[in-house]
Amino acid sequence: MCRFKNVSIKNLTKIFTSDKKIVTAVDNVSLEIKPGEFICLLGPSGCGKTTTLRMLAGFEMPTSGNIFVGDEDIASLTPDKRNTAMVFQNYALFPHLNVYDNISYGLKIQKRPKEEIKSRVEKILEIMKMEDFAYRMPAQMSGGQQQRVSLARALIMNSEILLFDEPLSNLDAKLRIHMRDEIRKLQQEIGITSIYVTHDQAEAMALSDKIVIMKDGKIIQVGSPIEIYQNPNSAFIAKFIGRANIVKGKIIEIMENIKKVEIFGSIYNIESEKIVEVGDQVEVVIRPESILFNKDVHKGKVIKSIFMGEAHEYEVEMNNEVIEISLHSPRGKKVEKINDYLSFAFDSSAMHII
Ligand SMILES: Nc1ncnc2c1ncn2[C@@H]1O[C@H](COP(=O)(O)OP(=O)(O)OP(=O)(O)O)[C@@H](O)[C@H]1O
Ligand SMILES: [Mg+2]
């Protein structure tokens, strides 16, 4: 039987009062997390991600609401009474303890037998490929190595839930990607339910089974990376997850799930479940990579033309609007320069009505 349980967050709210100012950091958040799921809380600075995580860990008491792990409401338990482990942005290692003692600290507090501690630490050092570092002090290690130790320290507790608060944001870009992939691999091997806070959308896409997008203390969309990227439910999310052109359109005809939409004078058949009426003005999301070249439908003046290796990035101006266009695998294709005119069409199969 799986030792991990459903986590059910119900109407969680946290109101801070400081300097006579009242801040609703988390506003009536509800979320269901399945055993073994990897969830990312993603959103701009100040949207309540850390506060939500700290309530899960027990470092912050909710103003109202419940956190069920299985059938038990843990919302009012102190951190040591919860079966959660947290990995912090700044590693939070004990500077005066070596790697071995840092990792074994929690087990010592639990008064586990010495032999058990030794074998568990050795096993986790092996998993993390840190066997050679057991007697190093934190100050003698790089950021990436320290973060590995902090991950090992969380994993060794065999907790039910792993919590991460931007654990990779102090690392350089390459190492961040490496560690991100390592975290995902480990998490899948162990099958541990994980909740990960980030404001890096690429990280959220790479790690998550489900992305939870937050804004102003509220959840505004939940879905798999594919769902959120392809069907964002607002212009804010479309622009927050990846790059997006948001163009205005007018509904011309409705044929069940196919809507005929006029955009820049051309008609597109867009698949959409959205309830609209003929004549409605709508916003349509079109990703820069979903634009077709050499189609004589629209013509725009090139105002940006940058070769990025895997893609050539353009911006074109048309009817006083700027459209971002990304030409992937540009090798051997004609390069348009600034002030050239570029002909293109939108790929209707990749368009999404908000
Ligand atoms: N102890 C506190 N006292 C007062 N206000 C707080 C406290 N902690 C957080 N806040 C406020 O609550 C809101 C949410 O903060 P939180 O740290 O959860 O945001 P975040 O999404 O983690 O942001 P970031 O991406 O910058 O880390 C912010 O407006 C913040 O100023
Ligand atoms: Mg935060």
Q: What tens-digit pLDDT sequence spans the chain (354 residues)?
A: 567 899 999 999 999 998 889 999 999 999 999 999 999 999 999 999 999 999 999 999 999 999 999 999 999 999 989 999 999 988 889 999 999 999 999 999 989 999 999 999 999 998 888 899 999 999 999 988 998 999 999 989 989 999 999 999 888 888 889 889 989 998 998 899 999 999 899 999 999 999 999 999 999 999 999 999 999 999 999 999 999 999 999 999 999 899 999 999 999 999 999 999 999 999 999 999 999 988 899 999 999 999 999 999 999 999 999 999 999 988 888 899 999 999 999 999 999 999
Best residue among 12, 50, 53 to mutate for probing ligand 1's pocket (most ligand atoms within 8 Å of CB) is 50
As given in the structure block, the two tokens for residue 332 are: 């051997």
Query: Could you tell me if the CB of 47 is within 6 A of ligand 1?
Result: yes
CA distance 46 to 22: 14
Q: Are residues 228 and 100 in the same domain?
A: yes
Q: Are residues 73 and 123 in the same domain?
A: yes
Q: Are residues 178 and 315 in the same domain?
A: no
N residues, the chain:
354
For helices 114-127 and 143-155, the axis angle rounded to 10 degrees is 130
Domain count, the chain: 2
Predicted confidence at residue 343, as pLDDT, reads 95
Q: Give nearest CA residue, ligand 1 atom 2.
A: 16
Give the end of a domain, one of 221, 238, 255: 238
- CA distances in angstroms from 119 to 100, 112, 115, 116, 300, listed in the order given: 11, 11, 6, 5, 65
Predicted confidence at residue 2, as pLDDT, reads 65
Q: Are 259 and 351 in contact (CB under 8 A)?
A: no
Q: How far is the CA of 69 from the centre of ligand 1 (A)?
A: 24
Tokens 């804004």 sit on residue: 215
Predicted confidence at residue 173, as pLDDT, reads 87
Q: Are residues 90 and 192 in the same domain?
A: yes
Q: Which amino acid is at 333?
A: K
Q: Are 197 and 50 in contact (CB under 8 A)?
A: yes
Q: Which distant-in-sequence residues (6+ apart) come within 8 Å of 70 by Cβ? A: 5, 6
Give the end of a domain, one of 238, 273, 290: 238
Predicted confidence at residue 333, as pLDDT, reads 87
Asked if residue 1 is part of any domain, the answer here is no
Query: Could you tell me if the CB of 144 is within 6 A of ligand 1?
Result: no
* Bridge pairing between strands 161-165 and 193-198: parallel
The minimum-distance atom of ligand 1 relative to the CA of 47 is: 21
Query: Could you tell me if the CB of 195 is within 6 A of ligand 1?
Result: no
Predicted confidence at residue 129, as pLDDT, reads 84
Asked if residue 323 is part of any domain, the answer here is yes
Query: Could you tell me if the CB of 198 is within 6 A of ligand 1?
Result: no
Which structural domain, as residue segments, surrounds residue 217? 7-238
Q: Are residues 223 and 301 in the same domain?
A: no
Q: Give nearest CA residue, ligand 1 atom 22.
A: 50
Q: Give nearest CA residue, ligand 1 atom 27.
A: 45
Q: What is the CATH number of the domain that holds 35?
A: 3.40.50.300
As given in the structure block, the two tokens for residue 62 are: 């909710």
CA distance 70 to 58: 17
Query: Could you tell me if the CB of 18 is within 6 A of ligand 1?
Result: yes
Q: Residue 18, Cα to own-chain centre: how many angstroms?
A: 30
Q: What is the largest CA-CA distance in the chain?
A: 75
Q: From the CA of 54, which ligand is nearest?
A: 1
Predicted confidence at residue 310, as pLDDT, reads 93
